[in-house]
Amino acid sequence: MTQAVLVLEDGRVFRGQSYGAVGKNVGEIVFATGMTGYQETLTDPSYSGQIVVQTAPHIGNTGVNARDEESSKVWVAGYVVRDASRIVSNFRAEKSLGEELEKYSVVGIAGVDTRALTRHLRSAGTMRAGIFSGELAKTPIEELLVEVQSAVKMKGLSLSDTVTTGAAYTNPAEGQFVGRVAILDLGIKRSTIEHMNQRGLETVVLPAKSDAATILATNPDAVFYSNGPGDPEAAGGQVEVLREILGKKIPFFGICFGNQLLGRALGFDTYKLPFGHRGINQPVLDRKTGRVEVTAHNHGFAVKVDGGPEVQSPAGFGRVTVSHVSLNDDCVEGLECLDIPAFSVQYHPEAAAGPHDSSYLFDRLVDLIKNNKVAN
């Protein structure tokens, strides 16, 4: 088998076999704790620029199929697994995972002790890493380490332009029409759009660099900021656009990166988590209902809100409450504005993959649109 080597920024080395494309890929290494849903993980644009470690030991046994894709391609920079399935055994499979990784030039490595790797990342934090396979795996580790340490860091990085749509497009509402949602595509997943369409919402998906005038020209009943990769501190343009939208009191909903940008638009800071939240089994408390939800996560940054449970927006948008918190580390998992029609969550209620405990949030968006129409 073709040999491969994983080199971490701090000098830790893991050896294994090539999985997917042969060559090299460098990026930020993170771990995802889901036992299922590897295809949805790979096609989530939020993972752009990252090497993903799957903590589940057996990966690839169900192959891949077009229906489970969350976007048009595989976005991860690299892929690390313990035991890559040698055969595909599922009636829905159209090809093997290895073939899919090779198609999109994703350099992977199998045969790695992912438990040891995950424990290391939990204590040392996320860092840059590189996967080198084939002849490159024979390169002296010292040379590979220099290449890894010279790679771009995720902090301060803007990636929205690399994952957004090239042109605006519209998805029709299903059933009775409720309203139109203008979506700023920062790396949106297909399931998010489907959840809205199924609830009678027409969605107009716009490129990440769209200005407020372009968004308002769609005559939206609500504006939505999607999930996506990168550092929210580097998304100043989208933050300014959002402030203009909030000032007009148009209903707003944000997910993941959208939650971070709402936080910054309201005047709060964001910060990088030590190793992030990635997986489909993360407990979150909804402070309004007292209900604990098991949720899907993929974020390396979070919003910082001091005080509470109710605080004033430093940017002058009135009262804000932290609506959801993580039960693992108490970080902010949701924001709700009390004086303007805006709310957001850090996790993924579309749950692709993952549990559907939080799908009610799309119903909350529908209610917000209906109530705003009545009020105006």
Domains belonging to the chain, first-starting first, are 3-149 (3.50.30.20), 160-375 (3.40.50.880)
Long-range contacts of 232-235 (CB under 8 A, 24+ apart): 232/257, 232/260, 232/261, 232/263, 232/264, 232/270, 232/301, 233/155, 233/156, 233/264, 233/270, 234/156, 234/157, 234/158, 235/158, 235/160, 235/186, 235/261, 235/264
> Predicted confidence band at 144 (pLDDT cuts at 50, 70, 90)?
very high
Would you call 142 a catalytic residue per the annotation? no
> Predicted confidence band at 230 (pLDDT cuts at 50, 70, 90)?
very high
pLDDT at residue number 375: 79
Average pLDDT of the residues of the chain: 95
pLDDT at residue number 352: 85
Can you tell me the distance from the alpha carbon of 235 to that of 186, in angstroms, rounded to the nearest whole number?
A: 10
Would you call 348 a catalytic residue per the annotation? yes
> Predicted confidence band at 283 (pLDDT cuts at 50, 70, 90)?
very high
> Predicted confidence band at 373 (pLDDT cuts at 50, 70, 90)?
confident
pLDDT at residue number 374: 85
For residue 307, is pLDDT > 90? Answer: no
pLDDT at residue number 281: 87
Express as a percent the part of the chain with pLDDT over 70: 100
For residue 308, is pLDDT > 80? Answer: no
For residue 376, is pLDDT > 80? Answer: no
Q: 46 with 74: CB under 8 angstroms?
A: no
| Mean pLDDT, residues 342-370 | 93
pLDDT at residue number 50: 96
> Predicted confidence band at 355 (pLDDT cuts at 50, 70, 90)?
confident
pLDDT at residue number 160: 95
For residue 82, is pLDDT > 90? Answer: yes
| Mean pLDDT, residues 29-49 | 94
| Mean pLDDT, residues 352-363 | 90
pLDDT at residue number 274: 92
pLDDT at residue number 47: 95
pLDDT at residue number 196: 98
Reported as a single tens digit per residue, the pLDDT across 169-221 is: 999 999 999 999 999 999 999 999 999 999 999 999 999 999 999 999 999 99
Reported as a single tens digit per residue, the pLDDT across 238-267 is: 999 999 999 999 999 999 999 999 999 999
pLDDT at residue number 256: 97
Q: Which of 9, 100, 202, 350 is flagged as catalytic?
A: 350
Q: Which of 28, 40, 256, 277 is flagged as catalytic?
A: 256
pTM: 0.95
The first and second tokens of residue 102, run together, are: 């090779």
pLDDT at residue number 330: 93
**Is the sign of the CA dihedral 42, 47, 49, 54 positive or negative?**
negative
| Mean pLDDT, residues 42-49 | 95
Can you tell me the distance from the alpha carbon of 291 to that of 285, in angstroms, rounded to the nearest whole number?
A: 6
pLDDT at residue number 273: 94
Interstrand relation of 201-206 and 169-171 (parallel, antiparallel or unpaired): antiparallel
pLDDT at residue number 138: 96
pLDDT at residue number 1: 80
pLDDT at residue number 122: 94
pLDDT at residue number 354: 86
Question: What Å distances lie between residue 144 and 134, 137, 306, CA to CA?
Answer: 14, 9, 42
The length of the chain in residues reads 376
The first and second tokens of residue 251, run together, are: 């209903």
Q: Which of 195, 277, 324, 348 is flagged as catalytic?
A: 348
Would you call 331 a catalytic residue per the annotation? no
Can you tell me the distance from the alpha carbon of 197 to that of 179, in angstroms, rounded to the nearest whole number?
A: 10
For residue 143, is pLDDT > 80? Answer: yes
For residue 319, is pLDDT > 80? Answer: yes
Q: 16 with 112: CB under 8 angstroms?
A: yes
| Mean pLDDT, residues 88-96 | 95
Q: 324 with 334: CB under 8 angstroms?
A: yes
Amino acid at 219: N
